[in-house]
């Protein structure tokens, strides 16, 4: 199915995940077209494995994906995976978006932390961002997703049935951080709807 973009409101998509997240993120990204706002991803992953994960996504999806580096400018149609053992935050000046590596202590026991990314998105983007919290143990990302929602972002959580571990999205849902829960296989379609894509009749 082909898609066309009707709006230009969402400027950034932020995705967080932990246990079961590498496959969940792949399942989302491989259903997305390349003509999307930039995507920033935090997956709890050890140092040395984040680049391999980013390379896999780059090779197997339409989204050009790389391991995030300090100073990267976030481009549409590209995804950036936080490097293992380093937090990543977003900065914004007008329509220019760039990434900064923050070498602070672990947050919620994790580095990179989903909360660190999501809080920075809430601070700088508000309604111009979309947040997605996928499968994972614990609560990392829940408060950050809530802060995004309170700032005006649309927020999506993975549902219990499709989660490998229904921890992070559960906590986010319980504290009011999730606008809508979806099964994993429906999350890409939910993202497309929120960023203003509509289905075209002809197939790719």
140 is catalytic: yes
**Tokens standing for 77?**
């149609």
Bond prior to 188 in cis (omega within 30° of 0): no
Catalytic entry in 72, 115, 128, 140: 140
Strands 154-158 and 129-133: parallel
Nearest to 32 by CA among 68, 2, 7, 75: 2
Rounded Cα–Cα distance for residues 70 and 79 (Å): 14
Dist. CA 95–CA 113, nearest whole Å = 25
From 159, 147, 164, 156, select the one nearest 184 (Cα to Cα).
Answer: 159
- Which residues neighbour 35 within 8 Å (Cβ) at sequence distance 6 or greater? 3, 5, 76, 77
Instruction: Determine the 3-state secondary structure of 132 from DSSP.
Output: strand
Say if residues 129 and 92 touch (Cβ distance below 8 Å). no
**Which of 44, 78, 119, 182 is flagged as catalytic?**
44
Catalytic site residue from 18, 113, 139, 163 = 18
d(CA 39, CA 89): 12
| Residue 124 known to be catalytic | no
Q: Is 44 a catalytic residue?
A: yes
Q: Which residues are catalytic?
A: 18, 44, 140
């Amino acid at each position: 199915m082909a898609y066309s973009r009707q709006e230009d409101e969402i400027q950034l998509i932020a995705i967080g995940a932990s246990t079961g997240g590498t496959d969940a993120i792949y399942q989302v990204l491989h259903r997305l077209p390349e003509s999307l706002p930039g995507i920033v991803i935090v997956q709890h992953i050890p140092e040395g494995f984040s680049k391999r994960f980013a390379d896999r996504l780059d090779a197997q999806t339409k989204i050009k994906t790389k391991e995030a580096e300090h100073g990267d400018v976030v481009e549409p149609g590209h995804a950036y995976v936080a490097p293992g053992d380093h937090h990543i935050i977003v900065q914004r000046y007008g329509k220019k978006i760039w990434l900064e590596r923050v070498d602070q202590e672990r947050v919620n026991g994790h580095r990179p932390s989903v909360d660190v990314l999501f809080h920075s998105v809430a601070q700088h983007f508000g309604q111009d961002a979309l947040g997605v919290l996928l499968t994972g143990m614990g609560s990392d990302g829940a408060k950050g997703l809530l802060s995004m929602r309170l700032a005006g972002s649309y927020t999506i959580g993975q549902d219990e049935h499709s989660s490998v571990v229904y921890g992070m999205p559960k906590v986010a849902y319980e504290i009011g951080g999730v606008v809508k829960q979806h099964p994993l296989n429906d999350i890409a379609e939910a993202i497309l709807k929120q960023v203003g894509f509509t289905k075209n009749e002809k197939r790719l």
